[in-house]
Amino acid sequence: MVTIDWTLLSQYIISGVVIGLIYSLMAMGITFIYGIMRIINWSMGEFYMIGGYLQYIIITHFLGVENWYLGVLLSMVGVFLLGMVVQGLLIKPMFQGSVERRTEYATIVTISLGVLFTNVAVIGAGPFIYSPPGYYHGTRILTLPVSGTRFVAFIGTIVLLSLFYLFLKKTWWGRAFQGAAQNRMGIQTAGIDVFRLDQIAFGIGVALAAAAGALLAPEFYLHPRCGSIATMKGFEIIVIGGLGSIPGVLCAGLLLGLIESLGAVFLNPSFRDVYGFLFLLAILAIKPTGLFEERERVA
Amino acid sequence: MKEISYTKITGFKWYSLSIAALLLLVALLPFSTGQYYLQVFTVAFYYVILASSWNLLAGYTGQFSLAHHAFAAIGGYTSALLVTNFGLPIWLGILAAPLSSALMGFILGMLCLRMRAIYLAIATWAFAESVRITISMTYEITRGDLGLAVPKIFPGIGQGVAYYYLFLGLAAMTVLVIMFIIRSRMGYYLRAIRNDEMVARVMGINTTRWKILAFMLSSGIAGIAGAFYGHYNGLLTPVMIDFNEMAFIVIMVVIGGIRSIAGPVIGAILIELLTETFREFGEIRMVVFALAVIAIARLYNEGAVGAVRQGAQWISRRKQAREGVN
């Protein structure tokens, strides 16, 4: 008879919840962009990376580590603006009739954009690994001792996701975004400039990725390809939760974190990053539309 | 159908003559270049196989697999492990490679291809990363990041010419097979699916089945390429599944010209040559390629092949106009 150490088990569960929620930040960005524009931004991991680098530059050269929260905000703003520019130059023309195959175009363009950013980062900062100083001293969440950075990232994620939720539900802009996700044609007839909306949505989406990058920079370190694992988790989460569904992201993020954490303990910690993919396959086999299916209205 | 009719416009004779001349040039090349460029071309032919087979899936069928490099690696590791661990002859290992890649493709396809195209792209993206991690972590079997030493097809040094012709033959065969598929009934089904899946289904095409078949075929071809590459290179590492490799394939196909037979061939050889020639420029090469791809996708969808085709059409139209005046 195997005795279960309940403290230990609770630690694994809390650790899974923490990491799962942090992954959701990335997934929220991907799913928000998908919900509005029906495209997947494959360069999400590069925006995550840019967010991390910006944060590193800001806190080591200008503001100091104690002002890390300002750094996170500033890197979000920076990446938001970059995203607006990128969207205006590359994604917007897609909706203005000059592009025939939208999915193909968006896939090719955002993949190339990722290559571009990665290599610019290698040229600019070298293939080195940067590690910003931790944001906070080690502490504990209930029974689980955590590093200060992970604690900060956890709290930061909760704050950002709550703000994002309030923004979507309570503000005029948020309602416009919900409308755009349901029916692009419909909100155009209501007099909303949907192109403007797209641009802002893209900016917000990549800013969420940048926030994840900035918050996790001391934990996972910075290098030009540091966004790839987070992006993989993000993609897995959005399929598990159901493409375009916001409650789906939260639910799937937490589930993914739990499965990884428990899989690492009970099966094999080396394959931690593979369990999510197996879970994704299982979901595709059982309920291919994901946990929360978002119905799309075709105009 | 645009793809069929253009041979009539540019003239089949002119077209086949120039291809024959090009083939002769390629066949005689080993006698005029050194070992280094021989190797560059050998690798370029490997990429021709990958780019062409990816184009069959992404270009003609409209299904974006982002794990094409991973399927090549699966083929490579399958063959290498069978040969080194079970003492199989190399040709048997190479035969097994496409089977394992296609089987993986079948499983993934069964799960994703019932859905919209975006599901396949996301699932294959996650699949490629998972394969990379799995290969790195099962180092007792695959030797992980240290790399797996693979027996070579032609043992000994100075076999550059032999490998050159081997990969040239493979690439030519792949292109012919894909050309055959595109011109067959299946090719029409695949293009119908790309153009409008709903309409294709209404016309009575079992779209899911054809999509899975196309995915298996393209993954299987990648598996063969990977197996040969492993036995040529003598070393397999998980770096083969870095996303950069996939991006490389996309860059080759788009710059050459997506949805054409010659496009991926030209793109692969061109990009590989440029990459090797401008080696000292490092990452700047990739930046330039990425910008070129964005510009092509944004401004002009048909790549190098499309440009040549339009040029040829323009010249023949001019000629016709002049003859008309005279």
Contact: B251, A112; criterion CB under 8 Å: yes
pLDDT score, position B2: 45
Determine contact, residues A23/A234, Cβ cutoff 8 Å. Answer: yes
Cα–Cα distance between B41 and B26 in angstroms, integer?
10
- With CB atoms and an 8 Å threshold, state whether A115 touches B125: no
DSSP labels, B215-237: HHHHHHHHHHHHHHHHHHHSEE-
pLDDT, residue A97, reads 67
**What would the mean pLDDT of A106-131 be, rounded to a whole number?**
87
Instruction: State the nearest Cα–Cα gap between A223 and chain B, in angstroms.
Output: 15
* Residue B72 confidence (pLDDT) above 90: yes
DSSP 8-class letter at A87: I
Out of B125, B133, B243, the one facing A274 most closely (by C-beta) is B133
Is A101 in Cβ contact with B123 (below 8 Å)?
no
- The more confident residue out of B246 and A93 is B246
How far does A275 lie from chain B, in Å, by closest CA? 9
Amino acid at B70: A
Q: Which residues pair with B235 in a beta bridge?
A: B149
Average pLDDT over residues B143-150: 81
**CB-CB neighbours of A249 under 10 Å:** 30
Q: What does the DSSP 8-state code read for residue A226?
A: T
Q: CB under 8 Å to A262, separation ≥6 — which residues?
A: A12, A13, A16
* A-B C-beta contacts closer than 8 Å: 120
Check CB contact under 8 Å for B287 and A101. no
pLDDT computed for residue B101 by the predictor = 94
Tell me which of B109 and B2 has the higher pLDDT.
B109
Residue B326 has what pLDDT? 57
Distances from the Cα of B134 to the Cα of A269, B35, B238, angstroms: 12, 35, 9
B160-183 and B12-28 helices, crossing angle to 10°: 160
Give B-chain residues touching A115 at CB under 8 angstroms: 244, 247, 251, 286, 289-290
Q: Each residue of A40-65: pLDDT tens digit? A: 899 999 999 999 999 888 888 887 77
Q: What b/e sequence results for A119-158 when a residue is b if at least 16 CB atoms lie within 10 Å of its CB, and e otherwise?
A: bbbbeebeeeebebebbbeeeebeebebbebbbbbbebbe
10 Å Cβ neighbour count for A288?
Answer: 15
CB contact under 8 A, B137 and A271: yes
pLDDT score, position B6: 47
How many other C-beta atoms can be found within 10 angstroms of the C-beta atom of residue B4? 9
Q: Mean pLDDT across the stretch B16-23?
A: 78
The length of chain A is 299
Burial of A68 per CB tally in 10 Å (0-12, 13-18, 19+): buried
Could A271 and B133 be called an inter-chain contact, meaning their C-beta atoms sit closer than 8 Å?
yes
Q: Write down the pLDDT at residue B315.
A: 83
Residue A204 has pLDDT above 70, yes or no: yes
pLDDT at A284: 85
pLDDT tops 50 at residue A38: yes
Where b means 16+ CB within 10 Å and e means fewer, B237-255 reads bbebbbbbbbbbbbbbbbb
The pLDDT tens digits for A232-290 are 889 999 989 888 788 888 899 999 999 988 888 888 888 888 888 888 888 888 887 87
Q: Give the model's pLDDT for residue A298.
A: 45
A160 touches chain B (CB under 8 A): no
Tell me what pLDDT residue A296 has: 53
Total residue length of chain B: 326
Domain ranges for chain B, please list them: 34-242
Among A244, A54, A218, smallest CA distance to A147 is for A218
Kindly state the average pLDDT of the residues A187-216: 90
DSSP state of A89: I
The confidence score (pLDDT) of residue A113 equals 92
The partner residue sitting opposite B137, judged by closest CB among A122, A232, A270, is A270
Using a CB-CB cut-off of 8 Å, the residues of chain A touching B246 are 111
- Report whether A274 contacts A35 (CB < 8 A): no
Express the helix, strand and coil content of chain A in percent, nearest 5 each. Answer: 75, 5, 20
- Nearest by CB to residue B126, choosing from A112, A113, A280, is A280
Of the residues B287, B291, B299, B300, the best mutation for testing chain A's interface (the one with the most A CB atoms within 10 Å of its CB) is B287
Per-residue model confidence (pLDDT) at position B152 = 83
For residues B132 and B134, give the distance between their C-alpha atoms in angstroms, rounded to a whole number: 5
- Look over chain B and give the mean of its residue pLDDT values, rounded to a whole number: 85
Pick from A172-176, A214-218, A289-293, B93-97: least confident: A289-293
pLDDT at B16 over 60: yes
Closest alpha carbon within chain B to A286: B111
Q: What is the pLDDT, as a whole number, of residue A2?
A: 62
Rounded to an integer, what distance in angstroms lies between the CA atom of residue A219 and that of residue A217?
A: 5
| pLDDT in the model for residue A237 | 92
The continuous run of DSSP H or E covering A246 comes out as helix A246-266
Q: Where are the beta strands (DSSP E) in chain B?
A: 148-149, 235-236
Residue A174 and residue A180: Cα distance in Å, rounded? 10
Q: Is the pLDDT of residue A187 over 60?
A: yes
Residue B263: per-residue pLDDT = 86
Confidence of residue B11 (pLDDT cuts 50, 70, 90): low
Confidence category of residue B29, pLDDT binned at 50, 70, 90: confident
* From A38-52, A273-287, B12-26, B149-163, the region with the lowest mean pLDDT: B12-26
User: From the centroid of its chain, how far is CA B103?
Assistant: 19
To the nearest 10°, report the CA torsion of A68, A71, A72, A76: 180
Q: How far apart are CA A58 and CA A68, in angstroms?
A: 8
Contacts of B107 (CB under 8 A, 6+ apart): none
Q: Is the dihedral of CA B145, B148, B153, B154 positive or negative?
A: positive
pLDDT of the residue at B7: 46
At B301, the pLDDT band (50, 70, 90 cuts) reads: low
Q: Report yes or no: B181 and B217 within 8 Å, Cβ to Cβ.
A: yes
Give chain B positions within 8 Å (CB) of A109.
293-294, 297-298
> Are the beta carbons of B40 and B272 closer than 8 angstroms?
yes
Q: Hey, are the CB atoms on B244 and A115 less than 8 Å from each other? A: yes
Most B-contacting residue of A38, A105, A119, A128 (CB-CB within 10 A), to test interface: A119
What was the pLDDT predicted at A100? Answer: 64
Q: Which residue of B has its CA nearest to A39?
A: B118
CA–CA distance, B3 with A13 (Å, rounded to integer): 57
- CB contact A238 to B (< 8 Å): yes
pLDDT, residue B98, reads: 92
Selection from A132-141, B25-34, B44-53 with the highest mean pLDDT: B44-53
What percent of chain A has pLDDT above 70? 96
Q: CB–CB of A148/A138 below 8 Å?
A: yes
Predicted pLDDT of residue B39:
86
Least reliable range by pLDDT among B27-36, B68-77, B162-171, B243-252: B27-36
Cβ partners under 8 Å of residue A230, min gap 6: A23, A26, A45, A48, A209, A212, A213, A216, A220
**Separation of CA A273 from chain center:** 16
Find the CB nearest B126 among A40, A90, A232: A232
Average pLDDT, chain A: 85
Predicted confidence at residue B5, as pLDDT, reads 47
Q: Which residues of chain B approach chain A closer than 8 Å at the C-beta?
A: 58, 62, 64, 66, 111-112, 114-115, 117-119, 121-123, 125-127, 129-130, 133-134, 137, 243-244, 246-247, 250-251, 254, 258, 282-284, 286-287, 289-291, 293-294, 297-298, 301
Mutation target vs B (from A39, A112, A225, A298; most B CBs, 10 A cutoff) = A112
Q: For residues A260 and A267, give the distance between their C-alpha atoms in angstroms, rounded to a whole number.
A: 10
Q: Which residues contact B164 (CB under 8 A, 6 or more apart)?
A: B29, B30, B38, B41, B42, B45
pLDDT on residue B75: 93
pLDDT over threshold 80, residue A188: yes
Q: State pLDDT tens for residues B310-323.
A: 788 888 888 888 77
Cβ of residue A185 closer than 8 Å to a chain B Cβ: no
Interchain CB distance below 8 Å, A235 and B243: no
Q: B127: nearest CA in chain A?
A: A277
